[in-house]
Structure 1
Amino acid sequence: MRKMFAVFKREYLSSVRKKMFIFMTLFFPVLMAALFFIPMMVMARTLGGKNVAVIDGTGQLRATFAKTNRKLSRDLPATLNVEYVDASRQADLNAAAKPYLNRLSAGSHAVNPVDAILIVPQDAISGDKAKMTFYSRSATDVITQQILGATANHEIQRQRLAARGIRADELDALTRNVPIEGVQLSRTGEQKRGGEANFMFAFLLAGLLIIPAFVYGLEIMRGIVQEKNDR
């Protein structure tokens, strides 16, 4: 047992004195933190101020996307600057969307640049095989696509139910979500709120605790392999 301990002690001391061990000990936590926070920053950036154009072939979605009703929309965030276009009277929807697609392709060089375009087909309310199209220059603009799609689908569902005699206020009352609040209960009966933040903190702390053990094991294995090669 003493010999084994002496071997581990020797390997540990020879490993921690290396520059690579010191570098990995200092750099690896930064790398792991970057892997956690960079995707979050990218996703948060996609929700920043964006200019989007909605080409509505139905002409029935103005109440949702119009600027005067932005505060009434529960799906559309205020960070999206929506330019609504009623294309219900256009015979060719692609022709109506072409100027906006040119502005999207031009990027910042356009007079009024747009970051994304949502095209709603003319048969979106009555058609069974209708499909909306989302255009964007960024491949990571998935959140904007989901937000615009969810907002349009919510209004389309309202229009379908209204055509069957169900009023919009009744629909909102029936489909209203009930919020849920997480409470952590201790053995003493104490109640603590904010369990999501505590979970994320514990998850991050566990990751930071695993990092030194991982680096130590990596250096030990590297030292053993190097010693065998030297022999």
Structure 2
Amino acid sequence: MSSHYFSNTLIIEQQCQTTAKKIMLMDATGIDVASLPLDKLLSEFELSVLEKRKVPSAKQEYLATRLTLKYLYQHAYPHDDLALSEISSQFDDKDSKLKLHTPVREPVWTCLSHSNGLIGAALNPKQQLFGFDIEQSSKPRPFIKLAKHFYHHDEVDLISRFDESDKQAQCFFRIWTLKEALAKASAQPIAKLLAPNVFDELSKHDFSASSNSIEGFDISVVAQKSTAWQCSFIKFSDLRRDLAF
């Protein structure tokens, strides 16, 4: 197994910088959903989905991901002149992709991930084979036992090399985020990718991968032909000012 999958090559910038291959990250835990003009921010479909989210943190993450996608859309297509409620995110079962639908152009592919309040969102307008995943990696768990139940035996051996629980966690979640990102990039169910060796799968399908850890979370990106994806943080207050609501 190649050590470069653990070398933390994914660039994560603390300041917001939008580029064509940018994953925007945000802490959604401080969003006061009830105070916002939701009918102006979300489409009717999105409002119906948000209404089904009963847990406050789930509402925060849903709203944060959708508004971040709309932020990225407006920066990518500044001349579309659309209200936020005219941009609607819906999952396409045929392609296994979340897409942004608008009245003025073909649906735009996107990718999302969230974990314990940290959300990530990216546009994928060129419909590349691309996916990313975020997982909180700071919770203590029986990592070797879990790995034996889900992972390939080579991956279990890799985790078992470490005696310290924090090192086991780092290895366990790096493998997990790579599997989840690969599932999204290849439009496969994650259940099909748990048992195979993820490093062999990445090599077999000619995918590149980059990862990093930040503030108790692990983030991995998988893409075909490209390692240029980067992450940038944006504060909700800055996004709100930019979108003018």
Shorter-chain TM-score above 0.5: no
> Computing the radius of gyration over CA atoms, which structure comes out larger, 1 or 2?
1
Greater strand percent: which structure?
A: 2
Q: Which has the higher contact order (CA 8 A, sep 6+)?
A: 2
Q: What's the TM-score, normalizing by structure 2? A: 0.23
Q: What's the TM-score, normalizing by structure 1? A: 0.23
Greater helix percent: which structure?
A: 1
